[in-house]
Chain A
C-alpha cells in the first residue's frame, strides 16, 4: 500500500458534463500517473506529472486535462465527458522504478 486514494470510486455522469477525478498520495512521491483501463487494451497512459505544475501527455490524452498544484494531489478533468470515456481510471505513483496503483474510479458516461 503506497498511500494512494482515489475519489470518487464510482461516478455516473451525462454526456457533455465536466468531471474531475482526484488522486491523493501521502508519501511525497514525485511522479504520478493517470491511466484508463478498457477490455483488450490493458492500461493506457493519459497524462503524468513529474512535479508540482509539471505535467506531460500520454498516449490517450485527447479530451483530458490534468493539474498538480500540490505534491500530494493529481487531478484528472474530463472537460466535456463523452460515452467513449466510460472506463476505469487508475492513478499510480512510481517509487524506485516500481509503480503502485490506487483502487480505481469506475466512470460511466450516459
Chain B
C-alpha cells in the first residue's frame, strides 16, 4: 500500500504570509497531483508534476516534485483569504496508472 503523508495537517496564517505544504512518501510515484477543495465541493485539480525535480508555477503557487519522485511541496507566496481550503496531494504509483493515492490533506486558513 502506498501512503502519502502531508504536513502540516492544519495551518492558520495571516494574509501576506508565505507557507509551504509537504507531501511525503517512501514509495515512488510516476506523477503527482495537487488538488484544492472548498467546503461542500469536490476537489479541483491545480497541477500535475511528472518529472523528478520538476517545478511548476501557478500565479502565487509553486509546486515541486522531488528528484526521487517520492515527495512534493506546494509553496504559496503572499497568501490571500481566497487561498483558504483543503489541499490534497495525490499520486499515481508506478504500474498503477488507473488509481490515485491521496494524501491526508492540509487545511489552510488565511485571515485578514
Contacts and interface: CB of A to CB of B under 8 A. Distances in A.
Interface of A: 31, 35, 40-45, 48, 50, 58-59, 90, 92, 94, 97-104
B41 A48 contact: no
7 contacts: A42-B4, A48-B98, A48-B99, A59-B1, A98-B45, A99-B43, A103-B41
Interface residues on B, range: 20 to 34
B63 interface: no
Contacts of B31: 97
B102 A44 contact: yes
A67 to B, nearest CB: 19
Given A42-B4, A94-B98, 12 more contacts: A40-B9, A43-B43, A43-B88, A44-B102, A45-B100, A50-B98, A90-B42, A97-B92, A99-B45, A99-B100, A101-B44, A104-B42
B48 A102 contact: no
B105 interface: yes
Contact of B42 (A50, A92, A94): A92
A101 B45 CA distance: 9
Ranked nearest first, the 3 interchain pairs of A and B with the lowest CB-CB distance are A101-B42, A42-B102, A43-B102
A50 B96 CA distance: 13
Nearest to B9: A40
Given A40-B9, A42-B102, A98 B40 contact: no
A27 B12 CA distance: 39
Contacts of B90: 43, 99
B104 A42 contact: yes
